[in-house]
A and B are shown apart, each in its own frame.
Chain A
C-alpha cells in the first residue's frame, strides 16, 4: 500500500428526465382550475366526492368520472406549523399547512393558511381561498395562493372527526 490518502468516495452526477402524465381526471380538474373553479369527481360506487380528483376512488378501486364543483371554502380539520426549510418548498418560514375539508368534498386536502397569527390557527376554523389575479391563472394548483380565515364560527370537531 502506498502512503497516499485512501479514496473514500467518488461523485457521479446523474441526470434523468421524465415526462409525467396527469391523466384525464387531473386534466379536467386543472382546466377547471384555470377557469377559477374547483371541480372534483364522484365515486360511482360510494358516492363520495374527491377533490382534487386522481381518477380513482381508492376506497373502492373504481374510476371516478362524474364531475362536481366544490366550494373554495372549507374547514380546517387539522394542521401543522412548519418551521424547518424543505428543499422543494419555496415558502417563508414559518408557514401553516392544513387539512382542509372543502364544502362539498368528502376528503380533506393539503392547503396553506395565511393572513392569520400562527397561534390563532385551530382545528374547526373556517377558511376560504385567496386566488392569484385572474390574469395569472394557469393549469396549476398554485392558482390558489393560500386560504385565510373567513371569520365564521368554528365547526364542532364531532362533525368532521372522521375526515382528519
Chain B
C-alpha cells in the first residue's frame, strides 16, 4: 500500500443552529482553509469526495449544491457518498491506492438543525419492520444503554463521568459546542429523557462542516503541519436488525480494528465517534483500549456532533493531535446507523 498522509484539517465552529449561511457559504471558507494549509495548490488536487445526506438537508440531490463551492471549473474528478465524510476519506484513500491521484480533498457536512433530528433518524430504519414503530434515535440508543447496564458493563454513574470528561477536555477545543465542568451528583439528579439516558448522555445537535486533504507521493510534507500517516483503515458493518445482534458489543468495530492494525503498535489515544456516553464503553472494549489510552482529546461527539461529518472530524482531530506532537500514534473511529451499526477505524501515526 502507498503511504498516504493527512496533510491538513479544517472545520467550522459547531453551533446549534446556523441560520445565517447556506451550505455553500459554509463550505467555501472551510475547504479553502484545508487546501491552503495543505500546501498543495488547488489546481493540483486530484480528487474530491464528500459525504452528506439529502434527508438532513430536506431536499433530493442536496449534495449537488456543494459542487458550487468547489470551483469545479475546469471540471474535477469528484464523487459523493451518502455516508459520513469519514467514508468519503476512505473512497479517496482507495483512489490514491489505485495510483490514479496523489492528493484529494474530502469533506462532510450536515445541518441537523434544519429538520427534527430524532424524527429524521427514524427514517433510517428498516421501512417494513422498524420504521413504522416510530422509534426515534434517542430511544434506540437508550435500548442499547439499558442492555449495557443490565449486562453489568456500565452504570448511569460511569456514563455521567464519561460525559463530564468529554466536555471538560472540550474546553480546550475552540470549535466545540458543549463544554464545561459538570458534577456527577448534579447530573444524576437530572431527569431522564428516555431512561436510562439523561441529557448529558446525548450528543448536542450541531451544524457544521469539516474537511481533510490527503497527500501521497511528492505532495507529502508540503503543508503547514507535519504529515500524519494513515497506517491502516478498514470499515465493517453489523446487522441492522437490533434483535439480530448483541447490542452490548460491537463486532464490526472489533473486526475493523483488527484489519486496520490497531494493536500493531502502541495506542496512545483514540478519537471515538460515540454520540452517546455508553457507546464509548462498547467501543473501548471492542478495540481493546486499556485505561492508559487517552480517549477523545477533542471532547468527542458529546461536545459536538455534526451529522455526516462527526466521524471525519474524529480523524481530523486525531491527526491534529499527532501533528502537534501531543502523541505519536492513535486511533480514530467513525460510526453510522442505529446503535453503532457501521464502524470505520483509521490508525494514524506521525513520522
Contacts and interface: CB of A to CB of B under 8 A. Distances in A.
B131 to A, nearest CB: 6
Contacts of A17: 115-116
A16 B25 contact: no
A56 B25 contact: yes
16 contacts: A10-B128, A12-B127, A12-B132, A16-B120, A17-B115, A18-B58, A18-B114, A20-B58, A21-B20, A21-B22, A22-B22, A26-B22, A54-B68, A58-B69, A58-B72, A63-B28
A24 interface: yes
A60 interface: yes
B1 interface: no
Interface residues of B, number: 30
Q: SS class of chain A's interface: helix, strand, loop or mixed?
A: loop
Nearest to A7: B128
A58 B116 contact: no
A10 B127 CA distance: 10
Given A56-B68, A56-B69, A59-B71, A21 B19 contact: yes
A26 B123 CA distance: 31
Interface string A89-111: 00000000000000000000000
Contact of B68 (A14, A19, A58): A58
Contact of A61 (B28, B122, B123): B28
A59 B73 contact: yes
B36 interface: no
Contact of B71 (A14, A26, A60): A60
A18 B112 CA distance: 10
Interface in B60-76: 67-73
A61 B71 contact: yes
A16 B72 contact: no
A74 interface: no
B21 A16 contact: no
Given A10-B132, A12-B132, A18-B115, A62 B28 contact: yes
